Chain A
Amino acid sequence: MTLRYLLTGALLASAAVSPALAQDNTAITVVLSEELDLVEPCMATRSNIGRVILQNINETLTELDVRGDAGLMPRLAESWEDRGDGVWRFSLRDGVTFSDGTAFDAADVKHSFDRVFSDQITCESARYFADTQLTFDIVDDLTIDVTAEPAQPILPLLMSLVTIVPSETPVEFVRDPIGTGPYVLSEWQAGQYIQLDRRDDYWGEQPEVTSARYVFRGEAAVRAAMVETGEADIAPQITELEATNPATDFSYPNSETVYLRVDSADEPTSDIRVRKALNHAIDREAFIGTLLADGTELAVAMVPPTTLGWNGDLAPLAYDPDLARELLAEAEADGVDVSLPVEIIARTENFPNVTEVAEALTQMLSDAGFNASMRMVEVAEHEQYYSKPYPESEGTNLILAQHDNSRGDPVFSMYFKYHSEGTQSGIAIPEVDDLIERATAATGAERDALWSELFAYVHDEAVADVLLFHMVGHSRVGERLDFTPTIATNQQLQLSEIGFK
């Protein structure tokens, strides 16, 4: 006991661990899985960066409600209206200041977007506006007109993806982000921690957490252990295996969808019967509660069920290896060479148990008569197989991939994954292209119906790929905190949503 006493004394004396041990205060420690390489506001849609800065340091004009069903909510914009011809008018919140003391106005909004689209830095948020030209007209300090060419019906939703920085921000990656959020970056010790402190002049309600220290550990077991020992308060991502304590551990749908991308330009998967056989060969239910956590759902679309246009009528193709063999035999009778190799290409560390999932899928395909094999590759190589142009192969490759869409609208997924021009699309079907284009341009109930129709077409008519699972994530939250993870916890962790019991 003496040793323990001495050690504890030494630990208390050290500044590095004191926030975690001082249980009565309102400073918290968050343990994340990967370190931030940047704290650049225009990269906030990248999950490792967004978890620290999004809405904590830098805010957006609008915000998607992921806790209730309020839809799109005001944040730095108080209201917005569609003025027709692709023009949207945003009325900005008054009395907002940046952490450097300057006032927030329409010029800051314009500069933030100019920065995103500049060719002097590579901002990740630019991708959401791929083919849309935006022009900004400052009406007055607190009113701005945004014109999209072509018209963009979900422009207000897209505004939830671009963080606002002051107009003085240089057009290069910054290390000291200035924002309107309730916290400021007060210290960044590369490799060790990032410290955020609450600011006094935030425009909104003061959050309860006064400061947050982010530390980084690659091992899920260590992250879970840190919350258990009190060295950290929240571990937003742990694995199912570590989530063993019902008092602190939560599971939540994490908006990731796992699927096998099938190239329908390749033999033998160019034949729809072969693609159906792939689907019937896989016993999806067998994965849940075994290799994948309880709560994992079978996927019938590329996006999670909370997304606009969700089609509840779709059901996965039933597990039926006999039917799969019959379909293969039929295809073979029509001259399709079903003995060609199909190789599952999976990425190491893509999601927990990815290797075992790939091994099990390979086995199931083999059992149904496919000449199946598998290959695990690292991220750079996976990217080569996943995005066009696809490498040549004897037979075909099935790409085991995970896609994340917590943004509420399928537009962020469907073009890339199913349009004939999409970079990861395995199909080129005029009907699908047409539906995607119409849905993208539509609004309201029409948009909802068109997406719904597209999901059904892709799943039932085209049998474009092998959709597998909507995944769940696990968080461990220390017992002194009041916090529940949401579908967006992968992307952001708003400190203002954390309370104390």
Chain B
Amino acid sequence: MIKLVGQRAIASLLSLSVLMVMVFFLSRLTGDPAALFLPIDATEQMKEQFRALHGLDRPILEQFGLYIRDVLHLDFGESLRRARPAIDIVLEAYAWTLPLALITMALVIVAAIFLGSIAAFNVGGVIDRGISVVSLIGASAPDFWIAIVAIVVFAINLAWLPTSGVGTPWHWIMPVGILFIRPFGLIVQVVRGSMLSALSAPYVKTARAKGVKNGPLIFVHTLRNAMLPVITVIGDQAAALLNGAVIVETIFGFPGVGKLMIDSILQRDFNVVMAAILVTAIAIFIMNILIDIAYSILDPRIRQ
């Protein structure tokens, strides 16, 4: 297992390098940060000065070389907009994104596996239909729509919760609740589908034929076999959350990495974009390694 993780870590480091090189060159295809930092009436001289100050006037390969040199010294550059080390800005934001993503995913996983299994055991019944329809409506409703309606209801009309911001646990309820809806809707469906397939596998039928009713043993055994696609989808949804939740962050003024990323992309603040992608990518790679470990625990026949 340790060897496996070690190999994966090295391979992931390679992926990370490929990613960073791609981002470096692709992001620089998208225009000139000087025009965006400076006011529209800025003189060409001011723009040149800005480019010179930030090394943007050098040939792109030289810029790349300098960036690599700095990164090897763990220097990820300054933000063009904020005049602070890019990595500090990103880590501050990630300190908010990570708990938000983890709390949300933990709730989603528990709820989706529980309700998805119930639906599968009652296939075609009222409970199954109810869970499917409600979760699908939730998963396909626009999140900013739900967010604004939630603010009107819970913050203005009922005055139970603060409208937005951070600071107390109460501030987290609406962002977590809204982020919960979509992954829950998707995962509950995948759980239900996989459980159905697993329940019709020959050995389960045999067990049932032998008179073992829908007992905990069958549940655990079936679940174990149904988990492979479920874990993959959980990974996909968790990756989306680890990349930040732009819309929820924008609406609730939640200082996470999603809003930072979109702002930096739109402002062509390359160093922050690079640092943000580095941090989110590391989180996602770690999660993918965990998922692969989970695969091999669930099904020992799966070996890399």
Q: Which of B42, B53, B166 contacts A16 (CB 8 A)?
A: B166
State whether B253 touches A122 (Cβ < 8 A): no
CB distance from A212 to the nearest CB of B (A): 16
Query: Smallest CB–CB gap between A239 and chain B, Å?
Result: 13
**A16→B168 contact, CB < 8 A:** yes
Question: Bound state CA distance, A7 and B81, in angstroms?
Answer: 38
- Residues of B with C-beta under 8 A to A13: 168
Are A384 and B168 within 8 A (Cβ)? no
Question: Does residue B114 face the partner (Cβ distance < 8 Å to A)?
Answer: no
Quick check: B49 and A14 within 8 Å, CB to CB? no
For A380, list chain B residues within 8 Å (CB): 30-32, 35-36, 266, 268
Residue in contact with B37 in the complex, picked from A119, A122, A192, CB distance below 8 Å = A122
Identify which of A70-78, A102-110, A217-225, A273-281 touches chain B: A217-225
Q: Which of A11, A37, A229 has the most CB of B within 10 A?
A: A37
- Assess whether B156 is in contact with A225, with CB atoms less than 8 Å apart: yes
Partner of A11, one of B30, B46, B168, B259: B168
Instruction: Count chain B residues whose beta carbon lies closer than 8 angstroms to a beta carbon of A.
Output: 54
Interface residue range, chain A: 35 or more
Given A126-B46, A222-B164, A226-B164, answer yes or no on A37-B96 (Cβ-Cβ < 8 Å). Answer: no
Interface string of A1-39 (1 = CB under 8 A from B): 001100100110111110000000000000000000110
The verdict on A122 contacting B161 (CB below 8 Å), with A219-B148, A381-B31 known, is no
**B222 at interface by CB-CB < 8 Å:** no
Chain A residues 396 to 430 lying within 8 A of chain B, measured CB to CB, are 412, 416, 423-424
B32: min CB distance to chain A, Å? 8
> A195-220 CB contact bits vs B (8 Å, 1 = yes)?
00000000000000000000111110
Q: Which residues of A contact B (CB under 8 A)?
A: 3-4, 7, 10-11, 13-17, 37-38, 40, 45-46, 119-122, 124, 126-127, 130, 172-173, 175, 190-192, 215-219, 221-222, 225-226, 228-229, 231, 378-381, 383-384, 386-387, 412, 416, 423-424
A-B contact pairs, 9 of them (CB 8 A): A37-B79, A119-B49, A120-B53, A121-B53, A228-B156, A229-B162, A231-B165, A380-B32, A380-B268
A sample of 18 more A-B contacts (CB under 8 A), given A122-B49, A387-B40, is A37-B82, A45-B39, A119-B52, A122-B37, A122-B46, A122-B50, A126-B46, A190-B92, A190-B255, A191-B92, A192-B165, A229-B155, A378-B266, A380-B32, A380-B266, A380-B268, A384-B35, A412-B41
Q: Which residues of B contact A (CB under 8 A)?
A: 30-32, 35-43, 46, 49-50, 52-53, 79, 81-84, 89, 92-93, 96, 148, 151-152, 155-156, 158-171, 250-253, 255, 259-260, 266, 268
